[in-house]
Amino acid sequence: MAVTYFIGLKEKENYDFDTEKFNRDIKQRFPNVIISENKEYNYNISWEDDEDEYQFNLSMERNRCAFSIDYFNC
């Protein structure tokens, strides 16, 4: 089953979001997650994990107010 979620905040900016803490927390929960950042894209930080039983890609918008989550349960 594949699902895609878009989550948005009402604010225009959310720079209080602690990406370093989030990175530590997601690495603890999903040790094989790959974290990448590309300053050229609007969704400039992404977390990806491709396991036998699931796959996901979580992308965060540059202003930290929107997330895109793609999940596939194998």
Residues 60-68: what's their mean pLDDT? 92
Distance CA 64, CA 8 (A): 9
Q: Residue 43 above 90 pLDDT? A: no
**pLDDT band with cut points at 50, 70 and 90 for residue 40:** confident
Distance CA 54, CA 11 (A): 32
Q: Residue 32 above 90 pLDDT? A: yes
The predicted pLDDT at position 5 comes to 95
Model's pTM, two decimal places?
Answer: 0.81
Q: Residue 7 above 90 pLDDT? A: yes
Find the DSSP H helices in 1-74: 19-29
In eight-state DSSP terms, residue 72 is E
Where are the strands (E) in 1-74, listed by range? Answer: 2-8, 34-37, 43-50, 54-61, 66-73
